[in-house]
Amino acid sequence: MNGRRLAILLLTAPGMIVLLGVFLIPMLLMLLLSFQDDLEQFTLQNYLLFIQDPFYLDILWRSIRVSLWTVLLTLLLGYPVAMYMAQASGRMRGIITMLILAPHLISVVIRNFGWVVVLGNNGWINEMLLKLGVIQEPLELLYNELGVVIGLTDAFIAYMVLAIATSLYAIDPSLSKAASILGATRLRTFASVTLPLSLPGIVAGVTLVFSLSMSAYVTPALMGGTSVKVMPVIVYEQIMSTLNWPLGAALSFLLLGSTFVLVSLFTRLVETKRYREVFSS
């Protein structure tokens, strides 16, 4: 047993050293920096400024709102795709998976510029709607929260699809057949069998998409412009533009803490609801 533990330790040591050197130690240094002022003395002013200034609270709420809309859109658009993948043959699953992952072979910057071309005032959507007479002037689809949500949905929908599909693969097809034999309609089978059993995948997808959306910088910066400020953009500006590293470090940890708290509350709520359902049955 001791030899086995030593072997496991030796195999994991390189990865742990890299993780310690490039993640944990820099995070601890940033945390210490967030409690310093310009004279490198201990202070809570950076965190108090966030609480006292409505500007930063509004930025945090906008980040949460945009992330929630992104989660909702990826869930509504991704669940049908995941269901189709679960019901398709093995070869078709591979093709769909390749199509879902193919856009991620292209830089997110290039994809965002593609959306700028499509959603701009002279873009394909506005030109088509103007020619059809549906609108009289171009719609504002860019440099607002709508544009950011569209970009984030495109960037992270693959995580939602694959997370839900993984749960759907594990569902025994005989359960749906049994429900159909007992007289359940397709809608009732979905609501009573498929949806509850795919809940772990939904939770995983929601957690991934929400966390990634909260920390996204490139898409909000390109598709939101100067009118849509979110927390990652503010952190970047404080560190790189104003060179206020302590405040930028404090804002980054406040963003990290807010994301962790919201994700924890969501998972705890889902687990509590499932426990009550099992206990009541």
Q: Residue 39: what are its φ and ψ, rounded to 5°? A: -95, 10
Annotation: CATH topology of 45-280: MetI-like fold (1.10.3720)
- Answer whether 169's CB lies under 8 Å from 197's CB: no
Task: Map tokens 């965190």 to a residue.
Answer: 47
Domain boundaries, the chain: 1-34, 45-280
Q: Please, where are the H alpha helices in the chain? A: 2-19, 25-34, 45-52, 54-87, 90-101, 108-119, 124-132, 145-169, 173-181, 186-189, 195-197, 199-214, 218-224, 231-236, 245-280
Residue 218 CA to residue 207 CA, distance in Å, equals 20
Helix (H, G, I), strand (E, B) or coil at 198: coil
Half-sphere exposure of 186 (CA within 13 A, CB side): 0
Pick from 214, 218, 223: nearest CA to 236: 218
pLDDT tens series, the chain, 281 aa: 577 888 888 888 888 898 888 888 999 999 999 999 877 889 999 999 998 989 999 999 999 999 999 999 999 999 999 999 998 888 888 899 999 999 888 888 999 999 988 998 888 899 998 988 888 888 888 999 999 999 999 999 999 999 999 999 988 888 888 888 888 888 888 888 888 899 999 999 999 999 999 999 999 999 998 889 999 999 999 999 898 999 999 999 999 999 999 999 998 888 776 656 555 55
pTM for this predicted structure: 0.90
**What is the amino acid identity at position 186?**
R
Q: What are 36's strand-pairing partners?
A: 42
H, E, C per residue of 28-56 = HHHHHHHCECCCCCECCHHHHHHHHCHHH
Q: How far is CA 246 from CA 21, 32, 47, 82, in A?
A: 21, 9, 10, 43
Residue 232 CA to residue 111 CA, distance in Å, equals 19
